[in-house]
């Protein structure tokens, strides 16, 4: 792989972790955009960049992606909580032959977890005694609720089970007895990196599938690998399934 000149969009916890991983893989960081005015201050670095990696905020991500498209810069997005803007950006991406790679979770383990959740939900579909529920736990700084991965997990489970028509945020765990939607409970605790759990519970027993991230390094590695993959000349809108083939 040729060394990539990378622009970091967002230089918080994830931006710093991505910098370490990118440098360790021989890439260069040519711009660090961490607030709105940096788009003006760092025009030289942005001109040099071959790819941008965005781990910023839900409020900033969509306009950051649009700005990358304006300068025809391929962009990898890990920020969550901006998906209402995806259809318009996707259309622009395809129409203008831009390159966008987005994932609510760049951990390869999470994608194995999601595909196992799909399989398990299929098996539970004919067993109405089991109620599905989801729990996610993240650090107190996380702005979006539920996490993008919890939404993906809930949509995956609901899509495999005819008795559920979707999911809903469960503010109060004691109110989880709704028959038609999967309750998703969100916990924000200390500096926890991220845990997602899918439960199937009956009066006689319970089944629990859990993914726990131990550090941010797994997300950073996934994002840098996605940047390398995107820069192999790809145009279009991609996700982890495209890169991993699962």
The catalytic residues are: 138, 142
Nearer to ligand NAD among residue 149 and residue 160 (C-beta) = 149
- Taking contact as CB under 6 A, which single stretch among the options 84-92, 97-105, 112-120, 234-242 is the one that binds ligand NAD? 97-105
Nearest by Cα to 236 from 136, 128, 107, 99 = 99
Query: Backbone dihedral region of 160: left (phi > 0), alpha (psi from -120 to 50 degrees) or beta?
Result: alpha
> Closest CB to ligand NAD among 8 and 99?
8
* 160 interacts with ligand NAD by CB under 6 A: no
Q: How many residues does the chain have?
A: 246
Which CB, 34 or 242, lies closer to ligand NAD?
34
CA distance linking residue 224 with residue 219, whole number of Å:
9
Q: Show contacts of 86-95: CB within 8 Å, 24+ apart.
A: 89/62, 89/65, 90/237, 92/66, 93/69, 93/236, 93/237, 94/236, 94/237
User: In this chain, which residue has its C-beta nearest to ligand NAD?
Assistant: 12
Our finding on whether 129 is near ligand NAD (CB under 6 A) is no
Q: Is 243 left (phi over 0), alpha (psi -120 to 50) or beta?
A: alpha
What is the size of the binding site for ligand NAD (CB under 6 A)?
28
Binds ligand NAD (CB under 6 A): choice among 42, 56, 98, 170: 56
Q: According to CB under 6 A, which one of 20, 24, 26, 35 is a site residue for ligand NAD? A: 35
Among 60, 99, 100, 230, binds ligand NAD (CB under 6 A): 60
Span near ligand NAD by CB under 6 A; candidates 33-41, 92-100, 114-122, 231-239: 33-41
In the set 21, 42, 79, 160, which binds ligand NAD (CB under 6 A)?
Answer: 79
Q: Under the criterion CB under 6 A, does residue 187 sit at the interface with ligand NAD?
A: no
* CA atoms of 72 and 97, how far apart (whole Å): 9
Q: How far apart are CA 15 and CA 18, in angstroms?
A: 5
Geometric angle at alpha carbon 117, from 113 and 120, rounded to 5°: 135
Which residues are at the interface with ligand NAD (CB under 6 A)?
A: 9-15, 33-36, 55-58, 60, 64, 78-81, 103-106, 141-142, 219
């Amino acid at each position: 792989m040729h060394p990539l000149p990378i622009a970091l969009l967002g230089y918080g916890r994830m931006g710093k972790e991505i910098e370490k991983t990118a440098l360790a893989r021989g890439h260069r960081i040519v711009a660090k955009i961490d607030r709105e005015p940096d788009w003006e201050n760092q025009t030289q670095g942005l001109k040099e960049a071959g790819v941008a990696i965005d781990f910023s905020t839900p409020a900033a991500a969509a306009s950051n992606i649009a700005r990358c498209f304006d300068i025809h810069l391929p962009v990898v997005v890990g920020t969550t909580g901006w998906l209402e803007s995806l259809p318009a950006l996707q259309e622009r991406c395809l129409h203008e032959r831009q390159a966008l790679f987005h994932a609510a979770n760049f951990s390869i383990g999470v994608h194995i977890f999601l595909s196992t959740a799909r399989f398990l939900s299929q098996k539970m579909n004919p067993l109405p005694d089991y109620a599905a529920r989801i729990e996610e736990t993240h650090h107190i700084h996380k702005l979006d609720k539920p996490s993008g991965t919890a939404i993906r997990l809930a949509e995956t489970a609901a899509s495999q089970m005819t008795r559920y028509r979707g999911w809903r945020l469960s503010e109060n765990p004691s109110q989880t007895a709704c028959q038609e939607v999967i309750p998703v409970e969100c916990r924000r605790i200390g500096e926890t990196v991220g845990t997602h759990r899918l439960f199937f519970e009956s009066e006689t027993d319970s089944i629990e599938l859990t993914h726990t991230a131990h550090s941010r390094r797994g997300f950073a590695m996934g994002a840098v690998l996605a940047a390398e993959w995107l820069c192999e000349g790809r145009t279009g809108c991609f996700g982890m399934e495209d890169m991993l083939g699962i």
